[in-house]
């Protein structure tokens, strides 16, 4: 019997979930699927859209398996929107002119960003914040406008994300919210007050209780008129005032729409037309649309069940939310605003620690109904599943910092651990009992943690409480962790990989343990990384002290502490780029990158730079990269401390410091945060009372804002704290673990690190400081060391048996506006690459 045909209109997160689940459950192949995707991108993580800013690479946003390349029963049409639906003929016409017939049809058209009916809302410079294309357009509009103002209309989740994105693009965002507080749907007045304070300290300007009345052109810019007479001058305006279901196509096809918008469905997600369903944000389930991914996934699962003969119905929506916006934790769950009759509130507000927690309980204080957390949302994982459950005698104990937080293991089996995928504790426990003994296995079997990842700490707790010993082995050759191996090297003073392997490991080593040991050896001494046996342990970038590019050439990045560079050094960089025909680019870390150098040219380039007083910028190493800085009080009228001098001091102190992952520092001269210090592993922000120290920021694949470790520090106290923090991280972190993830996973989290670093709770502060002093005293520029060692210099040739020959596979395309590498075939003469 031939397969029936399902047509899915839309390939967002919910549409993709539907197709994936159908193909996973449809073992008999009863359905073939045609997916019509309007955007030029297959399904991507719209929840994580803001992570696109900065990297500008859509690849990391792509949902797993979104191309269905190996599935003959899925036909995906990207960039081909559905244009008309004929429910009588059971057919869909797409923009390409193709007609697709169906046995069942699913509308997964999602929603669109709402533009409020404000005069001037369609002027050039007005944008919405919804898709990758929207962000690309915003980025293009901000070029050349750094430091200018932008206005975000709307102070909800999307508005704060948009403001953060604009700030990262160098603009000064103003958020205009008609309501009396930011995130009014998630937090109450108390939580909103704290949130507004935290946001303002980050350099954002919030205008609450004001409406946007008109936008008009003003000398090449925009004048945004607010109620009450305020006028904001802006480079651009971003509307983040909510979403509206995309139901026009369904309405044109004659489907019944809900009075407030959306395609009306019953609890089985059936529309008014036979064989036609609606899921996600476009579906009005018994008249109500839901704008969160978790209920969207639930609607998709209902339709899959119905297509396969089941009787699934929509279980209701969990609108709980946990997020980190602008580095601020915010969470709400259950009846967060106390709407229920007679609901009582238990509130703990700590202005000093900048935290706010509220529990909503029943009128007899026996049952948890909901809650709000601002500033610290670590209790969310255990509190949210307890909604509807009996409370202890003292409900405040659940949010009191003095009380021990109940672990996930104490939750009932029907408690939902992963709200995105509706995975209960019982289901996870069953998977663990059935042999899923690590995070990857639990995720593969249950789906827990596969969407936002916020539940992974709870899954880890369940693994541990089930008696599973989470593996700590570095690799198959070492049964110990990186931190343990670090302590062995430090205590035994072992200086070779072979000696470590012979005594504490087995086999010959691999691509995991060799670079780890190389990093540890470099972190515990001032030996050159290419000395003796160490050279063979390095990966390609470290082996040649430069970054390998796609066509086999290398990039060279000289250090510019704090972004400083003398005119003479700039001239030398320009001359080197000209003489070696290199492509130059100013990096985001206030340095100049020289691209296109062949390996045999590297020492010649280094010699010119070293002679000009410059040194390696370690752009190739798992080590300190840069200390980004604004000009601070030296030049800026807002600066309250000399951020420039401090950035130079820190970069010169920690240059060459090898660590589990790369390190980036930032120093801002005031709370306006022009150096973006809170996106760095170590961020320093000046106040009138001294320096505030933030740690654990990460602008990489999983962005995270740094959290405050200490405040009001003088110069020397700041350096001591950073010394201790960095050395503690280097000693205890896992391989390739950024400081953000390390803080999330180390026992006790930030508070434990604060006790160790600031209060010397473990009594190791002196040792940490001594280790850093040893590093500083032993530092030597790696480029200069190679130039002074003829033996090491011999490695820098393209071919070991033809040292005078340049690599003939290196080529460039210079026909466009910039020089770019191209790949060509290998030479036909016998040479051996280095």
- Going by DSSP bridges, is the β-strand pair 99-101/263-265 parallel, antiparallel, or unpaired? unpaired
Give per-residue pLDDT as tens, 211-256.
Answer: 999 999 998 899 999 998 999 999 999 999 989 999 999 999 999 9
* Confidence class for position 834, pLDDT limits 50, 70, 90: very low
* Average pLDDT for 565-591: 91
Task: Give the per-residue pLDDT at 116.
Answer: 93
Contact predicate 526/546, CB 8 Å: no
Task: Give the per-residue pLDDT at 830.
Answer: 39
Task: Give the per-residue pLDDT at 449.
Answer: 73
Residue 828, pLDDT above cutoff 50: no
* Average pLDDT for 664-682: 93
* Confidence class for position 808, pLDDT limits 50, 70, 90: low
Task: Give the per-residue pLDDT at 799.
Answer: 54
Share above pLDDT 70 across residues of the chain, in percent, rounded to a whole number? 93
Task: Say whether 282 counts as a known binding-site residue.
Answer: no
Task: Say whether 758 counts as a known binding-site residue.
Answer: no
More confident residue, 214 or 589: 214
* Average pLDDT for 141-151: 89
Q: Exposure string (b/e) for 171-200, b if CB count within 10 Å is 16 or more?
A: bbbbbbbbbebbbbebbbebbbbbbbebbe
Compute the Cα dihedral for 356, 359, 363, 369 and give only its sign. positive
* Confidence class for position 826, pLDDT limits 50, 70, 90: very low
* Average pLDDT for 202-212: 88
> What is the secondary structure of 639-660 as a DSSP string?
--S-HHHHHHHHHHHHTT-B-S
Task: Give the per-residue pLDDT at 833.
Answer: 40
- Closest residue by Cα to residue 357 from 198, 191, 197, 195: 191
CA distance 195 to 187: 9
Residue 404, pLDDT above cutoff 60: no
Say if pTM beats, i.e. exceeds, 0.85: no
Q: How far is CA 174 from CA 155, 237, 679, in A?
A: 10, 10, 20
Task: Say whether 455 counts as a known binding-site residue.
Answer: no
* Confidence class for position 827, pLDDT limits 50, 70, 90: very low
Contact predicate 497/518, CB 8 Å: yes
Residue 145, pLDDT above cutoff 80: yes
Contacts 24+ apart (CB under 8 A), 463-471: 463/432, 463/437, 463/438, 463/439, 464/409, 465/407, 465/408, 465/409, 466/409, 466/429, 466/432, 466/433, 468/432, 468/437, 468/438, 470/438, 471/438
More confident residue, 694 or 325: 694
What is the 8-class DSSP label of residue 599?
G
Q: In 3-state terms, the chain is what percent helix, strand and coil (to 5)? A: 30, 25, 45
φ, ψ of residue 272 to 5 degrees: the values are -75, -10
- Going by DSSP bridges, is the β-strand pair 663-668/624-629 parallel, antiparallel, or unpaired? parallel
Q: State the average pLDDT for the chain.
A: 87
3-state secondary structure 68-93: CCCCCCEEEEECCCEEEEECCCCEEE
Residue 3, CB half-sphere, CA atoms under 13 Å: how many? 18
Compute the Cα dihedral for 773, 610, 630, 634 and give only its sign. positive
Residue 470, pLDDT above cutoff 70: no
Domains and CATH numbers, the chain: 4-111+245-307 (3.50.50.60), 126-241 (3.50.50.60), 320-406 (3.30.390.30), 407-471 (1.10.10.1100), 482-538 (no CATH), 621-780 (3.30.413.10)
Q: List strand residue ranges (DSSP E) for 486-614, in order.
A: 547-548, 554-556, 583-586, 592-597
Query: CB under 8 Å to 726, separation ≥6 — which residues?
Result: 654, 657, 659, 663, 682, 772
Give per-residue pLDDT as tens, 93-110.
Answer: 999 999 999 999 999 999
Cα three-residue angle 495-496-500, rounded to 5 degrees: 100
Task: Give the per-residue pLDDT at 167.
Answer: 84
Task: Give the per-residue pLDDT at 831.
Answer: 39
H helices within 100-177, ranges in order? 132-142, 157-168
What is the 8-class DSSP label of residue 39?
S
* Confidence class for position 407, pLDDT limits 50, 70, 90: low
Q: Please, is 211 exposed, middle or buried when counting C-beta atoms within 10 Å of its C-beta (0-12, 13-18, 19+)? A: middle
CA distance 61 to 166: 19
CA distance 220 to 68: 46
Query: CB under 8 Å to 223, separation ≥6 — which residues?
Result: 215, 216, 217, 231, 232, 233, 234
CA distance 52 to 54: 6
More confident residue, 479 or 641: 641
Task: Give the per-residue pLDDT at 327.
Answer: 62
Q: How far is CA 138 from CA 243, 256, 588, in A?
A: 19, 36, 18
Cα three-residue angle 766-767-772, rounded to 5 degrees: 100
CB atoms within 10 A of CB 446: 22
Cα three-residue angle 614-615-618, rounded to 5 degrees: 140
Contact predicate 326/202, CB 8 Å: yes
Task: Give the per-residue pLDDT at 391.
Answer: 80
Q: Which of 345-349, 383-387, 745-749, 811-815 has the lowest mean pLDDT?
A: 811-815
Residue 775, pLDDT above cutoff 90: yes
């Amino acid at each position: 019997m031939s397969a029936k045909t399902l047509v899915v209109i839309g390939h967002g997160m919910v549409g993709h979930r539907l197709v994936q689940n159908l193909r996973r459950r449809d073992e008999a192949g009863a359905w073939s699927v045609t997916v019509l995707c309007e955007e030029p991108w297959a399904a991507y993580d719209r929840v994580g859209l803001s992570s696109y800013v900065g990297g500008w690479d859509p690849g990391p946003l792509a949902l797993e398996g979104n191309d269905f390349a190996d599935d003959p029963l899925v036909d995906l049409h990207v960039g081909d929107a559905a244009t008309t639906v004929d429910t009588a003929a059971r057919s869909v016409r797409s923009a390409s002119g193709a007609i697709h017939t169906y046995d069942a049809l699913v509308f997964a058209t999602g929603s669109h960003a709402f533009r409020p009916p404000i005069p001037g809302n369609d002027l050039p410079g007005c944008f919405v914040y919804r898709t990758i294309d929207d962000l690309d357009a915003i980025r293009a509009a901000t070029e050349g406008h750094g430091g200018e103002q932008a206005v975000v209309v709307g102070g909800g989740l999307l508005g704060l994300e948009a403001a953060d994105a604009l700030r990262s693009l160098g603009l000064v965002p103003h958020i205009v919210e008609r309501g009396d507080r930011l995130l009014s749907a998630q937090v109450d007045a108390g939580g909103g007050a704290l949130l507004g304070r935290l946001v303002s300290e980050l350099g954002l300007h919030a205008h609450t209780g004001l409406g946007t009345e008109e936008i008009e052109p003003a000398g090449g810019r925009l004048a945004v008129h607010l109620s009450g007479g305020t006028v904001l001058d802006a480079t651009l305006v971003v509307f983040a005032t909510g979403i509206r279901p995309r139901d026009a196509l369904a309405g044109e096809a004659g489907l019944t729409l809900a009075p407030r918008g959306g395609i009306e469905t019953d609890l089985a997600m059936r529309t008014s037309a036979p064989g036609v369903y609606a899921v996600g944000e476009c579906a009005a389930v018994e008249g109500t649309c839901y704008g969160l991914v978790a209920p969207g996934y639930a609607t998709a699962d209902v339709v899959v069940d119905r297509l396969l003969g089941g009787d699934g119905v929509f279980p209701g929506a969990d609108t709980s939310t946990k997020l980190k916006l602008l580095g601020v934790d915010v969470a709400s769950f259950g009846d967060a605003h106390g709407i229920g009759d007679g609901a009582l509130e238990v509130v703990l507000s700590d202005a000093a620690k900048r935290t706010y927690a509220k529990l909503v309980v029943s009128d007899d204080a026996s049952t948890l109904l909901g809650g709000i957390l601002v500033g610290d949302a670590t209790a969310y994982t255990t509190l949210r599943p307890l909604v509807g459950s009996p409370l202890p005698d003292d409900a405040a104990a659940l949010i009191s910092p003095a009380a021990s937080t109940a672990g996930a293991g104490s939750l009932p089996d029907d408690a939902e651990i992963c709200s995105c995928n509706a995975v209960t504790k019982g289901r996870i426990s069953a998977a663990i009992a059935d042999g899923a003994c690590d995070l990857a296995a639990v995720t593969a079997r249950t789906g827990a943690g596969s969407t936002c990842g916020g539940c992974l700490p709870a899954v880890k707790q369940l693994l541990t409480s089930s008696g599973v010993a989470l593996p700590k082995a570095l690799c198959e050759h070492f049964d110990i962790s990186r931190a343990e191996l670090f302590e062995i090297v430090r205590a035994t003073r072992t200086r070779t990989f072979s000696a470590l392997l012979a005594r504490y490991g087995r086999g010959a080593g691999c691509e995991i343990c060799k670079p780890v040991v190389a990093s540890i050896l470099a972190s515990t001494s001032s030996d050159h990384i290419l000395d003796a046996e160490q050279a063979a342990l390095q990966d390609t970038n470290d082996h040649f002290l430069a970054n390998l590019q796609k066509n086999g050439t290398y990039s060279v990045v000289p250090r510019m502490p704090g972004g400083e560079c003398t005119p003479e050094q700039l001239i030398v960089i320009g001359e080197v780029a000209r003489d070696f025909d290199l492509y130059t680019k100013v990096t985001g870390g206030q340095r100049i990158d020289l691209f296109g150098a062949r390996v045999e040219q590297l020492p010649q380039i280094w010699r010119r730079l070293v002679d000009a007083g410059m040194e390696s910028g370690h752009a190739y190493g798992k080590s300190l990269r840069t200390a980004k800085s604004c000009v601070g009080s030296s030049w800026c009228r807002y600066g309250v401390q000399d951020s420039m001098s401090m950035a130079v001091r820190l970069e010169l102190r920690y240059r060459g410091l090898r660590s589990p992952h790369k390190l980036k520092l930032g120093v801002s001269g005031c709370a306006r945060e022009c150096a973006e210090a809170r996106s760095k592993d170590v961020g320093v922000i000046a106040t009138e009372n001294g320096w505030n120290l933030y740690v654990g920021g990460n602008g990489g694949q999983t962005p995270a804002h740094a959290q405050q470790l200490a405040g009001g520090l003088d110069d020397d106290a700041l350096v001591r704290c950073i010394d201790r923090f960095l050395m503690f991280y280097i000693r205890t972190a896992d391989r390739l673990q950024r400081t953000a993830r390390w803080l999330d996973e180390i026992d006790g989290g930030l508070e434990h690190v604060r006790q160790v670093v600031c209060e010397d709770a473990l009594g190791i502060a002196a040792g940490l400081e001594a280790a850093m002093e040893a590093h500083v005293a032993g530092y030597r520029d790696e480029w200069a060391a190679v130039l002074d060692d003829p033996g090491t210099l011999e490695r820098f040739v393209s071919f070991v048996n033809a040292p005078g020959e340049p690599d003939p596979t290196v080529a460039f395309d210079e026909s466009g506006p910039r020089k770019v590498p191209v790949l060509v075939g290998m030479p036909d003469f016998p040479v051996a690459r280095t």
